[in-house]
Structure 1
Amino acid sequence: MLTVQTRHAIHQDHAKGMDTAALRQHFLTENLFADGEIRLVYTHYDRFTMGAAVPAGGALTLDKVGETRTPSFLDRREMGIVNIGGAGTVAAAGEAYTMNTGDVLYLGMGSGAVTFAGAGRFYITSAPAHRTCPSRLVTVAQANEVNLGAPETANQRTIRQFIHPQVMDSCQLVLGYTTLHTGSIWNTMPPHTHDRRMEAYLYFGMTPQARVLHLMGEATETRHLFVANEQGVLSPPWSIHSGAGIGAYQFIWAMAGDNVDFTDMDMLDAGDLR
């Protein structure tokens, strides 16, 4: 079963006047993971698509998606898949890839139908592509690891870069995930923006009671979302993105736009936040 939801881009002036319900409607993605289903959110932020496939021991195939008006979803797109569940397999273009927990699979443009199977919980990201890059499975051990932050600022964290220029080639998709160390709660503080690309988050590895206070909006007009396990956030180019968690959490970050340079960001001073 495939379901697709469309999200239109929101201007920052519009976001200033939104109440809690409207903010959650436009920027929070809920209920992505459902047994026996593929659920996608097709956005008008750089035509980025996020979603999930949960085969639950069976098999699910993603092929034609009406919103793209192409015979197959990946005819003019690339895809990044993260397995946050048990062991599973993903098959595309005549190749089958075994994915363990934390592994990331990149599929280049023209890969055709994609079949998900096994006990995996597959988080899906996709962006339009103008050239075909080689498909590749990147294991946790093969990721580029960056350690940032410190215990005294409660933001000690490990960033693992998978679909990233230091690891592999892609067209415009950049993806990795961040794990907070024990006792640290803050991510991406002080925050930043990057006007040349949008970003999407998926928070995972949380208990049912835990929440992340996700900060968004312009630096002088901040807003917030309380986010639960396996929920996502769409972050427009004009918005900051930062958060603090109640308990342990991880988050997958994925970006699409003009620049694949991970360090291309406009840093903000925490003292300027309002």
Structure 2
Amino acid sequence: MEIRHSVHPEDVKRLTAEELRERFLIQGLFQPDEIKMVYSHVDRMIAGSACPIQPLPLEVGKGLGTEYFLERRELGVINVGGAGVVKVDGTEYALAATDGLYVGQGAKEIIFSSADAAKPAKFYLNSAPAHAVCPTVKIERQSITPAHLGAIESSNERNIYKYIHPQGVKSCQLVMGMTVLEPGNMWNSMPCHTHDRRMEVYFYFNLPEDAALFHLMGEPNETRHIVMRNEEAVISPSWSIHSGVATSCYTFIWGMAGENQTFDDMDHVAMKDIK
């Protein structure tokens, strides 16, 4: 498991483009027959992926100091590839593309598999510490009524699908969902915001292979950017804005952990204050 330490906002002002990438960008997701995990010391969020050709068990390794992965954690899964199955303590959950699964604290055996090895599932994973047990629940995207926001005039017309949240599938602290931009739109989360009570991880996908995405981060008056490609993720500390624009429309999955689960708890930033 790769470890990323917390970074003070004053230090970010002095980082080079490559140093920003080393600290915040997550690359190399969905390697065949591999589970990749990145452990962030920001609210101890784990982001990662599983791309099974053969069945892949979720193993704890040495990074958590526990007997099994979800001994003191919960897990959110969204499939962005071919059809797949997640087996949780013997119960199988079939996930089509963009279906999700919440797995509660205490589940001991998690196994990822693909329905067709030639078209493997791509399971994107977020995991946060948990202090209470919530039921494991499958989440079908078609069952979610999205919130429609933005407009084509501002290039940010989008649909927000909330998968794991207090009014839907409940968790201890993890909040997770997906935002789908309408064709012809390129901006997300602009006007931007911070939320000093929660960190967030963005995972961008459905980008053409030759497209580039410019993810904006940093304090509102000291912004920085990271150039990203398809199927890459980025860690956003609680003090940082998190917004992006690309050369094409795209989809992204957001996962949050921290002090509360209130989706609208945001500190909005006026456009005139961004520098």
TM-score by length of 2: 0.97
SS at match of 1:101: coil
SS at match of 1:67: coil
**Aligned residue type for 2:76:** G
Tell me whether 1:24 sits opposite 2:21 in the alignment: yes
Tell me whether 1:156 sits opposite 2:157 in the alignment: yes
Q: State the partner residue of 1:237.
A: 238
Deviation >3 Å, runs of 4+: none
Contact 1:197 1:237 in 2 (8 A): yes
Distance 2:133 2:91 in 1: 16
**Aligned residue type for 1:43:** S
- 1:101 deviates by 0.1
Q: Deviations over 1:170-225 (max 9, x none)?
A: 10000001011111111000000000010001000111101111000000000001
Distance 2:28 2:90 in 1: 31
- 1:141 deviates by 1.5
Tell me whether 1:71 sits opposite 2:58 in the alignment: no
Tell me whether 1:181 sits opposite 2:182 in the alignment: yes
Q: State the partner residue of 2:139.
A: 138
Q: State the partner residue of 1:129.
A: 130
Distance 2:262 2:61 in 1: 30
- 1:32 deviates by 1.7
- 1:165 deviates by 1.4
Out of 96, 109, 112, the position equivalent to 1:113 is 109
Q: State the partner residue of 1:101.
A: 97
Contact 1:213 1:226 in 2 (8 A): yes
Distance 2:17 2:2 in 1: 20
Please, which runs of 5 or more residues in structure 1 have no aligned partner? none
Contact 1:172 1:260 in 2 (8 A): yes
SS at match of 1:73: coil
**Aligned residue type for 1:89:** V
- 1:166 deviates by 1.9
- 1:129 deviates by 0.1
- 1:52 deviates by 0.3
**Aligned residue type for 2:60:** K
**Aligned residue type for 2:32:** D
Q: How many percent identity over aligned positions? A: 45
**Count of residues paired in the alignment:** 270
Tell me whether 1:51 sits opposite 2:52 in the alignment: no
- 1:142 deviates by 1.9
- 1:63 deviates by 2.5
Distance 1:256 1:65 in 2: 22
RMSD between aligned residues: 0.8
Distance 2:108 2:246 in 1: 38
Out of 13, 38, 41, the position equivalent to 2:38 is 41
Contact 1:144 1:166 in 2 (8 A): no
Q: State the partner residue of 2:5.
A: 8
- 1:33 deviates by 1.5
- 1:94 deviates by 2.1
Q: Deviations over 1:127-177 (max 9, x none)?
A: 000000000000011224100000111100000000011212110000001
SS at match of 1:264: coil
**Aligned residue type for 1:7:** R
TM-score by length of 1: 0.97
